[in-house]
Each structure stands twice: as C-alpha cells, then as structure tokens.
C-alpha cells in the first residue's frame, strides 16, 4: 500500500471509529453537538450534550485497546482542553454546564472501552 493509500485508509478508519463513538453516546441519551471540531489549538473529535452536561470526547482506534489508551498523551489532553475552552467561549449557551473529558477506545473485532471523565483540564473555563 502506498503512503497516500495508507493515509486514506487510516482516515476512513478514524471516521468509522468516530461514528461508532457517536452512536454510543446517542444510545446513552446524548445529542452530538459537534464532530471533528477544529480550533486554533487543536481538534475535538466529538462534543456530546445531555441535560446539564457537555462531554468532550477523544476517540482513538488502534490495534489494541491498550495501544489506543497510550495514544492519548498528556500533551494531547492539554490541547483538547484548550480547544474545549475556545469552543465554550464561542458557545456561551453551553458554558454553564458541567463539563468532562471522555475517551472512547476502539480496536478491531468491535472491542470498545468508554472511559468517562478520563482526564481533567488544566484550563479555566471562564
């Protein structure tokens, strides 16, 4: 497989993983209010809302669930938190809701691990 073909295949797998994660949240009563949200500091894979809660969701697909978990680095967590801060500033209707950072890990064979409140933000959401 060429480099371009490999990148396209990885992109498709990522889109599929995010769709599976979105379905998981919808099944749990959440509305998906953002997908692949880009900000100046980074991208948020999914933003899901239910009642007074907003979940910023990072989705990782790797060959193993442990490999997917290891891919959510502290540096990436910081970028996601900063992106969430920017998103909240742009969406004041959501700013007073409880917020959490979740991670959905996926691996071949339908393996899924949903980690609620997976990490804490080091930014001030004001």
Task: Name all domains of the chain by residue range, CATH numbers in brackets.
Answer: 3-119 (3.40.1350.10)
Q: How far is it, in rounded angstroms, from Cα 103 to Cα 122?
A: 17
For the sheet with 98-107, list strands across it.
Answer: 31-38, 43-50, 53-61, 98-107, 111-119
The pTM is what? 0.90
Task: List pLDDT tens digits, range 106-120.
Answer: 999 989 999 999 999
* b/e per residue 82-91 (b: at least 16 CB within 10 A): bbbbbbbeee
Q: How confident is the model at residue 12 (pLDDT cuts 50, 70, 90)?
A: confident
């Amino acid at each position: 497989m060429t480099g371009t073909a490999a990148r396209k295949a990885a992109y498709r797998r990522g889109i599929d993983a995010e769709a599976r994660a979105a379905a998981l949240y919808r099944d749990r009563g959440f509305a998906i209010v953002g997908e692949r949200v880009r900000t100046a500091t980074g991208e948020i894979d999914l933003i899901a809302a239910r009642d007074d809660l907003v979940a910023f969701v990072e989705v990782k697909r790797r060959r193993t669930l442990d490999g997917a978990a290891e891919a959510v680095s502290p540096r990436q967590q910081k970028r996601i938190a900063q992106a969430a801060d920017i998103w909240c500033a742009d969406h004041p209707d959501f700013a007073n809701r409880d917020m959490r950072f979740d991670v959905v890990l996926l691996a071949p064979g339908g393996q899924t691990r949903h980690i609620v409140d997976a990490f804490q933000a080091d930014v001030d959401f004001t």
